[in-house]
Amino acid sequence: MIFECGHLDSSSSPKEEHMDTNSFLKTLWGPKGMILIQSMLTCNTQTDEAVSWRLDGEEVELDNYVQMEGPNLKISQVDAPMLGEYSCWRGGAMLSTTYLFQELEEDVDLDSLLSCRAKSYDCNFTCSWRDSRFTAIRLGLGHDCSSSSGGHDGELQFVLLHSLSPYAEESTSLELTAEAINTFYILRRTKTFYLRDIIQPDSPQIVRCQEVGQELNVTLDPPPSWSTPHSFFSLEYEIEYELKDDGKIERSFSTLIPKKISKLRVRSRDSLVLSAWSQWTAWQNVRKGKKNQYRCKKRRGDFKTWCPGPWTA
């Protein structure tokens, strides 16, 4: 399959890209398996003045398979040497560009190239593209692609907006389309999923610990990025802690944990759909200070601080 794309900005760096692949070329099979393509490349001009066409900067040679029809360029057969950037010129001014790409015939699952995550049920989610072979990538919901990307830790990051109501029962799935270019080959894949399938909250907040008999009651808050009201969008928490006596690591879904611990950390997930767990918070050392106050300090560095605040008995 050959793709025709207009006005594509491609780059080897992770920056915003634009691709227009709404026009597909008709494919015909010729003798000995040759693919015959008929394509009309349109020049963006409003006058009848003469124009010329270039392929990757070189003047296009007209023959039986490449002919001018007015300002437009008709290509009757497309093979590998004819793929690339076509530009329409009048004098020294470029009027428009069109790219011809061949579909990348790879059995590639989109999940192996892309991962998506929603921090909440609000109006957007993020996707990360992990394959560095491609020099231009774009994503979009539905059949069109329009989202921008920015680099982060060697990956391409995309933010996509949706119009789903966070308060209604989710009955409509999202359709994500991805397009990626490698030289003159294009990969196009589509996948469908529900927003709830990609929910993964940020790490929760540890507010305080309060002594209750021989236990500590850990007070936790949802992350600031989580949907509100929290009474409607409830989270469940898991606490991991190290026992002071023997160093054994244990976990609890209850916020009541043994008092004699040396450190703890916490993670959260949506309690209704049992979403993916958040990342663990950093380990926090716990010790009993003066006047039965429980104090912690972050493990990185030597800073003795209340983190995130005083834990009082």
Q: What is the pLDDT of residues 278-308, one digit of tens each?
A: 999 999 988 765 554 455 544 444 333 233 3
Instruction: Express each pLDDT in 120-132 by its tens digit.
Output: 999 999 999 988 8
Say yes or no to pLDDT of 260 above 70.
Answer: yes
How far apart are the C-alpha atoms of 273 and 300, rounded to whole Å? 34
pLDDT at position 156: 86
**Number of residues in the chain:** 313
Assess contact for 239 and 256: CB atoms under 8 A.
no
How far apart are the C-alpha atoms of 97 and 102, rounded to whole Å? 17
How far apart are the C-alpha atoms of 218 and 255, rounded to whole Å? 5
- How buried is 115 (Cβ within 10 angstroms: 0-12 exposed, 13-18 middle, 19+ buried)? middle
How far apart are the C-alpha atoms of 222 and 229, rounded to whole Å? 11
Strand partners, 171: none
Q: Domain extents for the chain? A: 2-103, 110-180+189-198, 205-312
pLDDT at position 197: 96
Q: Identify how many contiguous H helices and E strands the chain contains and give both numbers.
A: 0, 26
Determine the topology of domain 2-103 in CATH: Immunoglobulin-like (2.60.40)
How far apart are the C-alpha atoms of 273 and 162, rounded to whole Å? 19
As a whole number, mean pLDDT of residues 58-72 equals: 90
Side-by-side strand order, sheet with 66-69: 26-29, 35-41, 72-75, 66-69
Q: Tell me the C-alpha to C-alpha distance, in Å, between residue 142 and each of 191, 193, 267, 288.
A: 10, 12, 33, 56
As a whole number, mean pLDDT of residues 173-191 equals: 87
pLDDT at position 219: 95
- Give the rounded percent of residues in the chain with a pLDDT score beyond 70: 75
pLDDT at position 37: 55
Instruction: Extract the tokens encoding 173.
Output: 């799935």
Determine the topology of domain 205-312 in CATH: Immunoglobulin-like (2.60.40)
| pTM exceeds 0.85 | no
Instruction: Express each pLDDT in 16-29 by its tens digit.
Output: 333 333 333 333 33
As a whole number, mean pLDDT of residues 97-107 equals: 79
pLDDT higher at 65 or 199: 199
pLDDT at position 289: 59
CATH architecture of 110-180+189-198: Sandwich (2.60)
Query: Token pair 């995309």 is at which residue?
Result: 158
β-pairing, 2-6 with 93-103? Answer: antiparallel
pLDDT at position 100: 81
Say yes or no to pLDDT of 270 above 70.
Answer: yes
- Give the rounded percent of residues in the chain with a pLDDT score beyond 90: 42
